[in-house]
Chains A and B, each alone.
Chain A
Amino acid sequence: MARLYILAIGGTGSRVLKSLTMLLASGLKPNAEKTYEIVPVIIDPHEDNKDLKRTTRLLSNYQSITREIGNDRGFFGTSILTLDKLSNSQHRLTGNFTFNLQQVANSKYKEYIGYNQLDEANKALAEILFSGKSINKRGEAVDLLDIEMDIGFVGNPNIGSVVLNQFKDSEEFKVLSSNFDSEDRIFVISSIFGGTGAAGFPSIVKNIRNAKKGNEGFLRNAKIGAISVMPYFNIEQDDDSPIKRSDFISKTKAALHYYKENVTGNNTINSLYYIADDFIGSPYQNDPGDNGQKNDAHFIELASALAIIDFMEIQDLDLETIDGKAVKPIYKEFGIRKDTDTIKFEDLEDYTEKVLSLPLSKLAIFKKYINENLKDSVEMKSWSNEEPTINEKFLESPFYRTYLIEFLDSFQEWLHEMSENNRSFSPFHLASELDAMIVGKTIKKGFFESKVDYHTFNDMLNKRSQKYISKGETFPNAASKFINLFNDTSEELLISKYGIRK
C-alpha cells in the first residue's frame, strides 16, 4: 500500500494534523484509486506544546483503535503508522509521532551554533544575522542568541531555519528516505506567520529534493504537496510579548517573497495550498510558548486538513516530477459559499459540504449515542446480544474505556472548540434532541414516519445486525463489530432520515 508521509511543522502543523485525524476517524477517504497509509511526523522543538501533546495522544489512541479493529472502511478506516514501524533494527527511533530535535532541550541558540567557539569575525556575523530581542520561558527579555529553544522559535524563522536543517541528518529522515517508494507521497503542513513552520517548510523541502541518489532516488522526485497556512486568528495585544498580530502580515509577506524565489519559483512543490482568514474574531491568549501554547481548534485547520485529502485525490500524472522539479505545479486556495461568522454545513461550497457532512455527522451521532443511550441498550437490545456480544465487560475493556472514549471525548472537545471559536464552525447541536442535532437539517416526517429518536436508532441497529447475519458477515471481535455496526447504521440513518448526501 502506498504511504503518505505528513510532515507537520510547529503548532499549526499539530493542529491541522489533529483535524486530519478526526476526519480519518470519521471515515473520510480520498476519492482516489490508491489507498494510503498515513505516516505523520510532527516537527516541533516545543515539546511542552499542549497542542502537540494533544495531537500525539490522539494519534496514539487512533492507532490503538485501528490495531484492534483492523478496518479498511468506515470509522478509523485508514491506517496511521509511526516511523519506527517502518524502520529496521539499525535505526533507533522512539515509537511516537514526533521528530526528535537534537540539542534543543535546555539549550540556548548560541550554544546550539557553538557561538563561543567562533572566531571574532564569525561572532560578529552571527550577531548581525541574529540581532534583536525575544523572551525566554520565564518571560524575561533576552537577546535572540540567548533564546531557549525548548519553547519553540518564538516567531523567529531565522533561528528555526538553522535548527531545522538538522532534519537531513536525522534518523527519522534516514528511515523516511530508505522506505520511500515511487508510489508514496509527502505532504508538508506549516504556518507562514510564526517561527517554526515558516522556517521549517523551505528547509525541509530543500532537504527532500536534494536527497542523494541511490536508495533515496524516489525521494528526490517525490510527489510533494504542502499547505502554507497564512494568518487566520487574532491574538491579544501584549507589549511584553514578541508575538504581535501586527507582525503577522509583514512576516507572511516576507516569507511569501522568499518562497517565490526558493519554493514556488523553482517548482519545488507539486501541489501547494494556500489558506488564510482575514476575519478578526475574539483574540487568542498571547502565549509565545512558555505557558504550553494551547489554542482552540479552528475551522481553518479543518479546511487545511481537507487539502491533504485533496492532495491524495490528485492523479499521479498531474504530479510528475523530473530531476527534483514539478512538471506541472498546482496552486490551490479554499473558499466557502457564505462569509459568515458561524459556519454551518450549508455555508460550505457543495463539494466541501458533500465531503464533510456525512462523515462528521456519523462520528458526531455515534458519540451522542454513546453519551446518551449506550448504557441503556447494552445487554438489552438485540444488536448488543448478537455474537460477538457488546456487553458490560466490553464497556470495561481498555479498547472502549481508554482508547475509544478518550478519542471520542477529544472529538467532542474539538467540535466544541471550533464552535466556540470566532469565526466558528458549528454544524451540530450536540445537546439537542437527536432529530435536531444537525443544524439546518430537518427530519423527513410523513404520516407513517415517526420522529427520529433512540428507538429509531436501536431499531436500525437491530436490522443492520440481522443483515450481517443473513449475509454471513462476521467480525473478529466485539470492537470491530461495534465500530462497523455504528458506522453502517449511522450512515443509513443520516441518509434516510436527515437527507444527507453520500
Chain B
Amino acid sequence: MDKIIEPIYALFGVQIADIAPSLTTSYTALSITMLLISISGFIVHYYVIDNVRWDRKENLWTSSAIVAILTILVSYLLLFKPDPAVYYLCVLNGLFSLILMVILSSIPLLRNYSTNCKHTTFWKP
C-alpha cells in the first residue's frame, strides 16, 4: 500500500524516510488518517449537523478548515517530531484533506440525502 501512496507524497517533495528514518508511521497510516478525518468531516457537516443555520458556502469553508486543522494535528501526533520537514508533511496532509472535502462536496450524489445542505458546495450558495 505504501508503494502506491508514497509517489503521491513524493510529488510534493516529501520522503518520510528522509525526515525520520526511525519512524514507524507509514504513508498508509497518514493517508488513511487524512481520508478518515475528511470523510468524517463531510458526514458530520452534511448529515449530522445538517442544519439550516449551517448551510452556506462560508459554513462549509469553516467545516473544511476545521477538518484540515484536525488532520494537521493528528498527522503531527502520529509523526511527533519538531522538524520543519515534519511540519511541512503535516500541513500537506491537511491540504490534501481540504482538497478531498472540495471533491466530496462537489459530488451531488453524496449530498443527495442531506436535507438542509443538499445544495451546499464550496462555491454556493
Bound complex: CA A466 to CA B51 (Å): 14
Q: Inside 8 A of B53's CB, which chain A residues have their CB?
A: 455
Q: Inside 8 A of B114's CB, which chain A residues have their CB?
A: 382
B91-115 CB mask vs A (1 if < 8 Å, else 0) is 0000000000000000000000011
Q: Inside 8 A of A379's CB, which chain B residues have their CB?
A: 125
Q: Inside 8 A of A463's CB, which chain B residues have their CB?
A: 115
Query: Which of B23-31, B70-78, B116-124 has 4 or more CB atoms under 8 Å from chain A?
Result: B116-124
Q: Inside 8 A of B56's CB, which chain A residues have their CB?
A: 380
Q: Inside 8 A of B10's CB, which chain A residues have their CB?
A: none
Q: Inside 8 A of B52's CB, which chain A residues have their CB?
A: 381, 455, 458-459, 462
* Nearest A residue to B116, CB-CB: A462
Count of A-B contacts with CB under 8 A? 34
Bound complex: CA A386 to CA B118 (Å): 9
Q: Inside 8 A of A385's CB, which chain B residues have their CB?
A: 118-119, 125
Q: Considering the complex, which residues of chain A in the window 434-458 have a beta carbon less than 8 Å from any beta carbon of chain B?
A: 455, 458
* Nearest B residue to A463, CB-CB: B115
Bound complex: CA A267 to CA B52 (Å): 61
Bound complex: CA A162 to CA B55 (Å): 67
Q: Considering the complex, which residues of chain A in the window 359-383 have a beta carbon less than 8 Å from any beta carbon of chain B?
A: 379-382
* Nearest A residue to B113, CB-CB: A466
Q: Inside 8 A of B116's CB, which chain A residues have their CB?
A: 381-382, 458-459, 462
Q: Inside 8 A of A458's CB, which chain B residues have their CB?
A: 52, 116
With A455-B52, A455-B53 as known contacts, state yes or no: A380 contacts B115, CB within 8 Å.
no
Q: Inside 8 A of B119's CB, which chain A residues have their CB?
A: 382, 385
Q: Which secondary structure dominates chain B's binding surface?
A: loop
Q: Inside 8 A of A462's CB, which chain B residues have their CB?
A: 52, 115-116, 118
A: interface residue count bin? 10 to 19
Bound complex: CA A346 to CA B63 (Å): 47
Q: Inside 8 A of B118's CB, which chain A residues have their CB?
A: 382, 385-386, 462, 466
Q: Inside 8 A of A386's CB, which chain B residues have their CB?
A: 118
Q: Inside 8 A of A382's CB, which chain B residues have their CB?
A: 55, 114-119
A385 CB to closest chain B CB, in angstroms?
4
A376-407 CB mask vs B (1 if < 8 Å, else 0) is 00011110011000000000000000000000
Bound complex: CA A462 to CA B53 (Å): 12
Bound complex: CA A379 to CA B123 (Å): 13
A486 CB to closest chain B CB, in angstroms?
16
Bound complex: CA A462 to CA B115 (Å): 6
B46-62 CB mask vs A (1 if < 8 Å, else 0) is 00000111011000000
A452-477 CB mask vs B (1 if < 8 Å, else 0) is 00010011001100100000000000
A393 CB to closest chain B CB, in angstroms?
15
Q: Inside 8 A of A455's CB, which chain B residues have their CB?
A: 52-53
* Nearest B residue to A466, CB-CB: B115
Q: Inside 8 A of B125's CB, which chain A residues have their CB?
A: 379-381, 385
* Nearest A residue to B118, CB-CB: A382
Bound complex: CA A466 to CA B52 (Å): 14
Bound complex: CA A386 to CA B115 (Å): 11
Bound complex: CA A379 to CA B51 (Å): 16
A214 CB to closest chain B CB, in angstroms?
61
Bound complex: CA A302 to CA B21 (Å): 86
Max chain A CB contacts within 10 Å: which of B53, B55, B119? B119
Is A381 within 8 A of B115, CB to CB? no
Max chain B CB contacts within 10 Å: which of A380, A382, A385? A382
**Other 17 A-B pairs with CB < 8 A, given A380-B125, A381-B116:** A380-B56, A381-B52, A381-B125, A382-B115, A385-B119, A385-B125, A386-B118, A455-B52, A455-B53, A458-B116, A459-B51, A459-B115, A462-B52, A462-B115, A462-B116, A462-B118, A463-B115
Question: Which 8 A-B pairs give the minimum distances between C-beta atoms?
Answer: A385-B119, A459-B52, A380-B125, A458-B52, A382-B118, A462-B115, A455-B52, A462-B116
Task: Name 28 interchain pairs, CB-CB below 8 A, sorted by A.
Answer: A380-B55, A380-B56, A380-B125, A381-B52, A381-B55, A381-B116, A381-B125, A382-B55, A382-B114, A382-B115, A382-B117, A382-B118, A382-B119, A385-B118, A385-B119, A385-B125, A455-B52, A455-B53, A458-B52, A459-B51, A459-B52, A459-B115, A459-B116, A462-B116, A462-B118, A463-B115, A466-B115, A466-B118
